[in-house]
């Protein structure tokens, strides 16, 4: 005769409830309950066990509790059911007790053939209610919780090795933080989550080519081995500074950078340098030229925009009476206009540019004065107040020239943050012109020198300056992935050889470009394009900083980009995965936006304290295992898991693991074999020195 659910439950009874509160339930364990291994649950299982699960019947289901602690207390000898204990002396007896933390409700599913677990408990048991061991089927329902059990990431040692599944929508949609010490298995977990997700998607996708996108920012060069170019199941692109066979050179053009990144990179001061740098960016983009050479239409558009900018500036100064109150500054502006006009006259003989030059020269000659400094006796040039007629004459000739080009473009130029192509040398040259025009050369000399030095640096130039043939469309298609039918796309961006001077800016630009591209995708298509951005060694690039808006370095700007992604990325389909060994150094803003955590071994006190603050109080008992977790084990908690669970991550073959193995000191010392392979090392420093120096020589030769 088949047992009912509650009849079967009576055989799994291990104790009774003796204390109930919203966050803790205490159980008195029966004297007849198993002491080390339970055999009546469908298979041998350790019991009692910290972080294991017990059930308490309530209404039409079970309250699921997780064991927080187990203890032995001295109590009167317990009365056993069905036995008469006559003549026993009532001496203290060791009675076992344990504490449960309520986790959720387990109820029969709609078909009555299984169970469904839901986080949170709306009903608490009363004192005297039985505590039951869960069966294997019930354990699987608890650990494999969630409606969309799609990707298996491992097994749970505390749930009889039940498989642990996650829903990628939850795992990647609201940001994931993978935290743990060096050697605890973080990199393998990140690589595994990506690979297992793509492999499962391939199995379920009708075309076998899932439209997935993962972008890995890899500062240590670990992931090129985990996702090799010749991987048959995953389409991988590898971007490196010194690209090898099958790899793509890393290119992040300087015209991708926005004004905040330029200001941080050049260390521009807030008062004079930043406004002129932003203006230079705006105007050089207004007259942008293609790297391969501008067309005739682009040249005329360039001239039209520059003349429009001149006209707007002249009208503004005339209206504000700056032609009299700031006559010397205005005079230098007119000189800069003349210099620009002189360059264009030979190319546009059919446009009356000479009239503009002559009117400007006439005004300058009339107002030009020479002086001598009384203290230093050095000569200097200044201008007295210009008349309205002189300025109006220049304006009318500019208007006439613009009429030949199609009229005024009423803008000073595009937004300085728009990625429009320009040459770095053009930016520096124009910045010098603006400095003369504003009579601020003494304030910009060092800024211009810094930019020229960076642009000429052979270590930096290949990444930011040597970008011939790079267009915005091509870059987005290569780095994010297009609709090319290649299936699951993984872009590994190797930052290991990016010079330290620009690594934060390059990282910030890549992350921001991905984010803003997905923003515009949503704007145009009304739907999101799900993409995952993975940041390894996140404590280096998303490090907490002093909130000083006037003087921010490149590291602060990089962190701000990721803070914005953490806050807004979900709305545009961009999920963030952080991997870090020092969570206490991460930006609190970014960590607070992560809804799922995969916690490996953490032994540092400060890092442990931070993790404790990130989770509710009733989860801290589970986190006490963090210092002693073995490699490949982690605690999964948050939005992607209905309840916190200890996971032994699935195995990854050696060929699919990131290159982050510990050094084999002993085997190398002995010169023996490891897994059948010799591990001896020969130090051929000649070859290394030649390779090291050749890279610099090749770049210098390329410049000449």
234, 293: one domain: no
As a three-state string, the secondary structure of 331-356 is: HHHHHHHHHHHHHHHHHCCCCCHHHH
Task: Give the tokens for residue 304.
Answer: 């039209």
> What CA–CA distance (Å, rounded) separates 500 from 241?
13
CATH number of domain containing 647 = 3.40.50.300
Average pLDDT over residues 39-66: 82
**Residue 171: inside a domain:** yes
What is the reported pLDDT for 672?
A: 65
451, 552: one domain: no
| Structure confidence at residue 701 as a pLDDT band (50, 70, 90) | very low
Q: At what angle do helices 388-405 and 353-367 cross, to 10 degrees?
A: 170
| Structure confidence at residue 83 as a pLDDT band (50, 70, 90) | low
Give bridge partners of residue 494 from the DSSP assignment: 218
pLDDT tens-digit series, residues 389-443: 999 999 999 999 988 888 876 554 457 888 888 888 888 888 887 787 677 778 8
pLDDT tens-digit series, residues 466-478: 777 888 889 998 8
pTM for this predicted structure: 0.78
**Residue 462: inside a domain:** no
> What CA–CA distance (Å, rounded) separates 621 from 86?
42
φ, ψ dihedrals at 512, nearest 5°:
-70, -40
For the chain, give the mean pLDDT. 83
Q: Which of 402, 421, 455 is the last residue of a domain?
A: 455
Upstream peptide bond of 48 is cis (omega within 30 degrees of 0): yes
Average pLDDT over residues 264-278: 86
- Is the pLDDT higher at 284 or at 547? 284
* Interacting residues of 249 by C-beta distance below 8 A, sequence separation 6+: 239, 240, 241, 243, 462
| Structure confidence at residue 18 as a pLDDT band (50, 70, 90) | very high
> What CA–CA distance (Å, rounded) separates 611 from 599?
9
φ, ψ dihedrals at 320, nearest 5°:
-85, 0
222, 289: one domain: no
Q: Which of 399, 420, 455 is the last residue of a domain?
A: 455
What is the reported pLDDT for 546?
A: 76
Between the alpha carbon of residue 569 and those of residues 322, 377, 577, the distances in Å are: 46, 61, 12
* DSSP label of 403: H
* Cβ atoms < 10 Å from Cβ of 452: 15
* DSSP label of 584: G
Give bridge partners of residue 638 from the DSSP assignment: 596
303, 332: one domain: yes
What is the reported pLDDT for 1?
A: 43
- pLDDT beyond 90 at 190: yes
Q: Which of 455, 489, 522 is the last residue of a domain?
A: 455
- pLDDT beyond 60 at 696: no
264, 243: one domain: no
- pLDDT beyond 90 at 623: no
* Cβ atoms < 10 Å from Cβ of 635: 26
**Count of domains observed in the chain:** 3
- Is the pLDDT higher at 55 or at 690? 55
Domain that holds residue 121: 5-143
266, 192: one domain: no
443, 492: one domain: no
Average pLDDT over residues 590-614: 89
* Interacting residues of 666 by C-beta distance below 8 A, sequence separation 6+: none
What is the reported pLDDT for 698?
A: 44
**Residue 108: inside a domain:** yes
- pLDDT beyond 60 at 9: no
**Residue 179: inside a domain:** yes
**Residue 64: inside a domain:** yes
Portion of the chain with pLDDT greater than 90, in percent: 29
Torsion on CA atoms 453, 456, 461, 467, rounded to nearest 10: 110
φ, ψ dihedrals at 147, nearest 5°:
-75, -30
- Is the pLDDT higher at 208 or at 602? 602
Listed residue (532, 478, 538) closest to 194, CA to CA: 532
What is the reported pLDDT for 681?
A: 66
265, 122: one domain: no
Give bridge partners of residue 75 from the DSSP assignment: 93
**Residue 14: inside a domain:** yes
352, 493: one domain: no
446, 480: one domain: no
pLDDT tens-digit series, residues 333-383: 888 888 888 888 888 888 899 999 999 999 999 988 888 877 777 888 888
- Cα 313 to chain centroid distance, Å, stands at 41
**Residue 679: inside a domain:** no
Task: Give the tokens for residue 340.
Answer: 């620009």
**Residue 228: inside a domain:** yes
- pLDDT beyond 90 at 610: no
246, 271: one domain: no
* Burial category of 92 from C-beta neighbours within 10 Å (exposed 0-12, middle 13-18, buried 19 and up): exposed
444, 477: one domain: no
- pLDDT beyond 70 at 3: no
């Amino acid at each position: 005769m088949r047992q009912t659910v509650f009849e079967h439950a009576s055989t799994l009874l291990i104790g009774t409830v003796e204390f109930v509160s919203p966050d803790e339930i205490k159980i008195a364990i029966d004297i007849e309950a198993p002491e080390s291994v339970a055999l009546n649950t469908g298979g041998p299982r350790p019991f009692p066990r910290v972080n294991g699960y017990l059930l308490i019947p309530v209404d039409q289901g079970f309250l699921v509790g997780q064991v927080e602690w187990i203890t032995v207390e001295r109590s009167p000898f317990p009365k056993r059911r069905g036995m008469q204990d006559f003549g026993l002396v009532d001496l203290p007896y060791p009675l076992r007790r344990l504490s449960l933390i309520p986790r959720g409700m387990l109820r029969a599913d709609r078909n009555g053939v299984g169970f469904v677990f839901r986080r949170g408990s709306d009903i608490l048991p009363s004192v005297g209610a039985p505590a039951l061991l869960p069966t294997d089927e019930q354990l699987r329902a608890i650990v494999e919780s969630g409606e969309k059990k799609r990707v298996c990431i491992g097994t749970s040692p505390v749930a009889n090795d039940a498989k642990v599944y996650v829903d990628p929508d939850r795992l990647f949609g609201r940001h994931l933080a993978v935290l743990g010490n060096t050697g605890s298995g973080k990199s393998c977990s990140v690589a595994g989550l990506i690979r297992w997700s793509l492999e499962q998607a391939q199995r379920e996708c009708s075309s076998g080519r899932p439209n997935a996108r993962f972008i890995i920012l890899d500062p240590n060069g670990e992931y090129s081995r985990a996702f090799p170019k010749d991987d048959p199941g995953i389409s991988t692109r590898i971007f490196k500074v010194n690209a090898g066979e099958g790899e793509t050179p890393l290119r992040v053009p300087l015209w991708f950078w926005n004004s905040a990144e330029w200001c941080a990179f050049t260390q521009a001061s807030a008062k004079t340098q930043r406004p002129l740098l932003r203006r230079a960016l705006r105007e050089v983009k207004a007259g942008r030229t293609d790297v391969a050479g501008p067309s005739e239409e682009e040249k005329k558009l360039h001239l039209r925009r520059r003349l429009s900018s001149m006209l707007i500036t002249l009208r503004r100064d005339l209206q504000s009476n700056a032609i009299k109150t700031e006559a010397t500054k205005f005079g230098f502006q007119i000189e800069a206009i003349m210099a620009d006009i002189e360059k264009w006259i030979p190319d546009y003989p059919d446009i009356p540019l000479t009239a503009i030059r002559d009117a400007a020269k006439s005004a300058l000659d009339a107002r030009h004065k020479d002086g001598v400094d009384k203290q230093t006796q050095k000569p200097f040039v200044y201008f007295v107040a210009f008349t309205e007629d002189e300025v109006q004459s220049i304006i009318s000739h500019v208007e006439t020239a613009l009429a030949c080009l199609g009229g005024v473009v009423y803008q000073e130029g595009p937004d300085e943050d728009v990625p429009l192509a320009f040459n770095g040398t053009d930016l520096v040259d124009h910045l010098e012109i603006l400095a003369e025009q504003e009579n601020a050369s003494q304030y910009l000399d060092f800024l211009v020198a810094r930019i020229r030095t960076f642009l000429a640096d052979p270590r930096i130039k290949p990444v930011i300056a040597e970008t011939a043939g790079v267009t915005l469309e091509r870059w987005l298609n290569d780095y994010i992935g297009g609709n090319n039918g290649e299936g699951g796309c993984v872009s590994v961006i190797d930052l290991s050889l990016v010079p330290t001077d620009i690594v934060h800016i390059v990282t910030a630009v890549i992350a921001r470009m991905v984010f803003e591209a997905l923003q515009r995708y949503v704007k145009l298509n009304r739907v999101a394009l799900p993409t995952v951005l993975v940041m390894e060694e996140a404590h280096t690039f998303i490090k907490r900083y002093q909130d000083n808006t006037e003087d921010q370095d490149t590291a602060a700007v990089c962190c701000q980009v990721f803070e914005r992604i953490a806050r807004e990325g979900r709305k545009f389909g961009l999920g963030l995965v952080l991997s870090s060994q020092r969570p206490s150094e991460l930006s609190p803003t970014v960590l607070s936006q992560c809804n799922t955590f995969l916690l490996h071994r953490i032994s540092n006190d400060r890092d442990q304290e931070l993790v404790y603050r990130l989770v509710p109080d009733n989860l801290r008992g589970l986190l006490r295992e963090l210092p002693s977790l073995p490699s490949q084990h982690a605690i999964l908690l948050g939005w992607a898991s209905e309840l916190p669970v200890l996971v032994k991550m699935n195995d990854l073959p050696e060929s699919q693991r990131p290159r982050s193995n510990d050094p084999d000191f002993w085997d190398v010392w002995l010169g023996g074999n490891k897994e059948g392979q010799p591990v001896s090392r020969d130090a051929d420093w000649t070859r290394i020195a030649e390779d090291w120096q050749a890279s610099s020589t090749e770049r210098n030769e390329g410049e000449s």
